[in-house]
Every structure is written in structure tokens, then in C-alpha cells.
Structure 1
Amino acid sequence: MALPQISQDMSPQNLEQIAGNATDASNFLKAISHEGRLMILCHLVSGEKSVTELEELLSARQAAVSQQLSRLRLEGLVAPRREGKAIFYRLADDRPRRMLELVYELFCTEEAA
């Protein structure tokens, strides 16, 4: 997909739409720009996990994991599900998975080295 060319002859509505999209993209990128949040998303790519499972996988305290999950939930990147006292999280949609695939390609493969 080709990126759009922003020009002065664009309508004010188109420019406003692009600015709104830039704000949404900026918020998304800020949400995943923290190492802990990025690692949570990496773990959730393989499927739903409880907060306790994430604590163990990340070797992190419950308060830290909950704080990062709260930010991811606020940005609409993860969705919670309660089962008794346990809370499970999953990716809310395909955006985080797609971004992680690109991040993996850029930073984690042999071609990136």
C-alpha cells in the first residue's frame, strides 16, 4: 500500500482526517513504546493469559503488570475477561499483532542484524 501524498491542495476535511489519524497513530505508538507493555503484547499474541500468568512470564510484580495492562486497555489494545477472581487478557483486535510482526521483522530476525 502506497502512503498518501500530503499537499497544499488537499481539502480542509482531508487534512483534518489525516491529522486525526496521526493523533490515533501517535497514541497507539506511545502505548506500545514501553518495554513492559511491548512484552505483554508479545505474550498475548499466542493467546489469552491471566494476570498471574503474565506476572510469571514477565517476572514482574502484580502491581507493575496491572499498571501496564491498564494503559493497554485504555488505548483499546487489550480486552479483559473476568472468570471468578481471575482476570484474563487478550488482544482486542489485529492491530497489535500486525505491529509486532513488523517490529519482529525489523529488530528480531537475522536480516535485522
Structure 2
Amino acid sequence: SNEEQERRFQKRIFHPEKHWKLSPMDLQSRARWVEYSKAKDAMFAHTDMKQAPWFVVNGDDKMRARLNVITHLLNMIDYEDLTPQPIVLPPRQDEGGYVRPPIS
């Protein structure tokens, strides 16, 4: 969202450890945000089709965005269910009076 992008830009400006993330291209693109948004909207309108639909991901929360993309991709692939059978531990052998020697 516009708000999240603004928040990230502000963090990059005011936190020295994040300055490296801010490039001159970022500053130019910020000045052209409306132009880029219009171009993106036109691209979606002309290229989104049944055979190759766009999947738009909300990127405000990066971790959730990545998980949503992974989930979406996995849901697009047919695969055999390979859920393993539950493991049942057999009962332990009776010690029968065995005492383990101390470890030296």
C-alpha cells in the first residue's frame, strides 16, 4: 500500500542502518508513483487472462506476503499426498535386572 511504502521510505531515511536500502532510483520512482501505478494498472488490464491470471499479493507484511505466495504456488500444483503414517514406538525391552555401567 501507499502507506506501507511511505513507512518503509521513512525508516530508510531516519535509521542509519537502513540507508543502504535507499537508492537514487528509489527517490526517482517515489516522485513518479502515480505514473508507475497507472502503468501497472494498464499492464494488469491488458495481460490478465484466464490462461495466465495475475495473483496480486498484499505486501504490507513481508513474511505473510511470502507465505501467501508459497501457499498459492503449492495450491496450483497437483501432487500426490505423501503424508507419512503415524509412528508408533514399540514398547521397550524389559531391562531384566541389567544395570548400565558408569561412563568413565
| TM-score normalized by the length of structure 1 | 0.24
State the structure with more CA Rg. Answer: 2
| TM-score normalized by the length of structure 2 | 0.25
In terms of fraction of residues, the more strand-rich structure is: 1
Higher relative contact order (CA 8 A, sep 6+): 1
In terms of fraction of residues, the more helix-rich structure is: 1
